[in-house]
Amino acid sequence: MQKVALVTGGSAGIGWATSTRLQRAGWQVVSASRSSKAPSGCEGLAIDVADDSSVREGVAHVLNSYGRLDAVVTCAGWGVAGAVEHTPLGDAKDQFEANFWGTVRVVQAALPAMRSQGAGHLVMLSSIAGCIGVPFQAFYSASKFAIEGFGEALAYEVRPFGVKVTIVEPGNVRTEFTERRRVLAAGAYPAQARAVAKMERDERDGVSPERVAGTLYKVLSARRPPRRVSVGKASERVGLLAKRLLPYAMFEPAARGSLGV
């Protein structure tokens, strides 16, 4: 039986590359985004992950069309850059609506079918910024830290029903995400311009979205998928290990240089 996957954020970047990779591997892929733009061979579906009814109706459409849902990959999201002090709460809430609550909505909509099947795989895009706080991206980092805790707790809950959970932590990736980031006025924080400029350079020099898609495909193909997996340059991923092992008095000075502050 052909496996069915729903990929959110499928119109660009990691979502587009993941939809393409799964479709080429023989999956039936529903590539969802607000625009419904999708790679060749995938069904494009209009879903706004920040809207309850849009998500419910979209997942219902997948189940009505294909009769099952084997995997959900949540790639939808965007970034806001600015000092915490100068970030309007509306912008901060918008960030969470897409990155965190958007993931929650899709997961809640998909779980009844996965429980009924006794199988399914929920793959959630976090970030290395969900493990290491990034200055002037505090709300983006917070939304990804939330994914980390949410996914870990969820895994305990759904394990008895045969549903798997994997949290994927990319580093810098070359996508449209960089140009689409909402950058706020620096205000009283002159370090913001330097930090954001370094962040954008690192992203443009990051790994390809196809590399992340390859990791996602391996996760979905694994008999015993990991709870967490990072993907990106070794120089970025080593930071995850360093944070776990080093005292903060040593870790933070080293991290400041890599973060541009």
Where do the structural domains in the chain lie, given as residue ranges?
Answer: 4-259
pTM of the model: 0.94
Return phi, psi of residue 163, to 5°: -95, 130
Q: What is the pLDDT of residue 173?
A: 97
Please pick, among 19, 31, 33, 126, the residue that the annotation labels catalytic. 126
Reply yes or no on whether 66 is catalytic.
no
The CATH number of domain 4-259, selected from 3.10.105.10, 3.40.50.720, 3.40.50.150, 3.40.50.2300: 3.40.50.720
Angle at 208 between CA 219 and CA 126, to 5 degrees: 50
Q: Write down the residue that tokens 């061979």 correspond to.
A: 41
Q: What is the pLDDT of residue 237?
A: 92
- Would you call 19 exposed, middle or buried from its count of C-beta atoms within 10 A (0-12, 13-18, 19+)? buried
Q: What is the pLDDT of residue 163?
A: 98
Reply yes or no on whether 11 is catalytic.
yes
Please pick, among 11, 19, 33, 230, the residue that the annotation labels catalytic. 11
Please pick, among 31, 127, 140, 164, the residue that the annotation labels catalytic. 140
CB atoms under 10 Å from CB of 91, counted, come to 14
Token output for 184? 């706020």
Reply yes or no on whether 116 is catalytic.
no
In terms of phi and psi (left: phi > 0; alpha: psi -120 to 50; beta: otherwise), the region of 41 is left
Can you list the residues of the chain whose pLDDT is less than 70? none
* CA atoms of 21 and 27, how far apart (whole Å): 9
* CA atoms of 7 and 122, how far apart (whole Å): 10
* CA atoms of 212 and 15, how far apart (whole Å): 10
Question: Residue 235 CA to chain centroid, in angstroms?
Answer: 20
Q: What is the pLDDT of residue 258?
A: 84
Reply yes or no on whether 233 is catalytic.
no
- Partnered with residue 183 across adjacent β-strands are 81
Q: What is the pLDDT of residue 260?
A: 82
* CA atoms of 55 and 120, how far apart (whole Å): 18
Please pick, among 19, 33, 127, 144, the residue that the annotation labels catalytic. 144
Question: Under a CB-based contact definition with an 8 Å cutoff, are residues 177 and 78 in contact?
Answer: yes
Q: What is the pLDDT of residue 261?
A: 85
Q: What is the pLDDT of residue 130?
A: 96
